[in-house]
Structures are given as structure tokens and as C-alpha cells.
Amino acid sequence: MKWYIVKTVTGKEKKSKEYLDIEIERLNMSSYIGQVIVPMERVVQIKDGKKIVKEKSLLPGCIMVQTNLQGEVKHLIKSIPNVMGFLGLEKGGDPSALRESEVNRILGHADDSIDLEDQATIDFQVGESVTVTDGPFNKFDGIIEEVNEEKKKLKIMIKIFGRKTPVELNYMQVEKQ
């Protein structure tokens, strides 16, 4: 079986996968269609000073299907609601399968469930210039005065109204200049 990318309506990837899974079960097509995957990645956002973990589609408007395209499989997949067709389909021809290296890269990236705390292991040094990216001091520039590796916090001196003010922020709230 080879992997193919199937185009769907953006935002309806999970629903298309559910419909396809139901049809595979109903028509007993599991010997022709292996896996159906919606590649997702975890994204960390900071809102109101709190970390929020969201899942985001790695390939918006696409799902991955492992199949051998025998018989009516192609027509079954295209008949699923919200499915627009195969990616790489030439007029009247068969869709082009993904190379193994592409599949490994996509699935490897989607399966990377690195601990989100470890994701913020950026090496900050005292005296470095940083820009605040979140919180009440957003877009302020400052200089690192202190680094707390355990808590992943930085003490930064920011100039507010011409006076230097110490501010404690976490690693996720700043970026290097």
C-alpha cells in the first residue's frame, strides 16, 4: 500500500476522516485501505500570560490515506462528503503517491510530542538583548539581568518612561533580538 494525499474542505479534515472510516467499515474495505490520518501538530500559544496548547492541522485541507487504489477505492474516497479529490491527480490519470521520505517527514513531524516545557530550552545569557512578545510589556526591549534555569524565568530590565524597571518573565514571553 502507498500513501496518498486527499484534498478536503479546509476545516473538515477530521469529519472527512470519520466519514471515510465509517465507509471502510461498512463496505469491508480494510484490505484495500490501510490507515487514514489527519496530520496534526501541537502549537503553544500564550494568551493572558497563560500557556495554551492547541492542535493545528499540519496540512490544512488534506488528509493522508494509505491504500493500493484497486477497484472502486478511488471512487469511494472521492464520494466522501467534503472530499475534493486526490492531490497530484493528472486529468484522467491515477493520483501520484507520496515518496517514503515525504511520508516519514510528515508522520515524524506530526508524532513529535516533545514535552512542551523542554521545547523552551533556548539558551539565554545575562546581558543579552531581548524583545517581549507577550503580556503587558509586549514589544518592549530589555536586557537580561538574571536567568533562572529551573523555573525557566528571566529578570529583564525594561525602560519605561525613561526609568529602568525590573520585570520577571518566562522564556516563552520573550525572543532574542
For the chain, the structural domain boundaries read: 2-116, 120-176
Q: Can you name the residues that pair with 165 across neighbouring β-strands?
A: 158
Distance CA 87, CA 62 (A): 9
Architecture of the domain whose range is 120-176: Roll (2.30)
Least confident of 21-25, 109-113, 139-143, 166-170: 109-113
Local confidence band at 49 (pLDDT 50, 70, 90 cut-offs) = low
pTM of the model: 0.60
Local confidence band at 122 (pLDDT 50, 70, 90 cut-offs) = low
pLDDT digits (tens, 9 = 90+) for 58-110: 889 999 999 988 888 888 998 999 999 888 766 666 788 888 888 888 877 65
**CB neighbours (10 Å) of residue 164?**
11
| Structural contact between residues 32 and 71, judged by C-beta atoms closer than 8 angstroms | yes
pLDDT for residue 16 is more than 90: yes
Question: What is the arithmetic mean of pLDDT over 1-25?
Answer: 92
Distances (CA, A) of 152 to 39, 124, 156, 166, 173: 30, 10, 13, 16, 11
Q: Using a pLDDT cut of 90, give the percent of the chain over it.
A: 28
Question: What is the arithmetic mean of pLDDT over 2-8?
Answer: 91
Local confidence band at 173 (pLDDT 50, 70, 90 cut-offs) = confident
Distance of CA 152 to the CA centre of its chain: 24
Which residue is listed with cell 514571553? 173
From the options 3.90.550.50, 3.30.67.10, 3.40.50.2300, 3.30.70.940, give the CATH code of 2-116. Answer: 3.30.70.940
Predicted confidence at residue 176, as pLDDT, reads 85
Distance CA 44, CA 53 (A): 5
Average pLDDT, the chain: 83
Q: How is residue 96 annotated by DSSP?
A: P
Neighbour-count burial of 171, counting CB atoms closer than 10 A to its CB (0-12 exposed, 13-18 middle, 19+ buried): buried
Please name which of 123, 171, 167 lies closest in space to residue 142, comparing C-alpha atoms.
Answer: 167
Distance CA 50, CA 95 (A): 44
- Diameter of the chain by CA atoms? 74
Local confidence band at 139 (pLDDT 50, 70, 90 cut-offs) = confident
| Structural contact between residues 73 and 41, judged by C-beta atoms closer than 8 angstroms | no
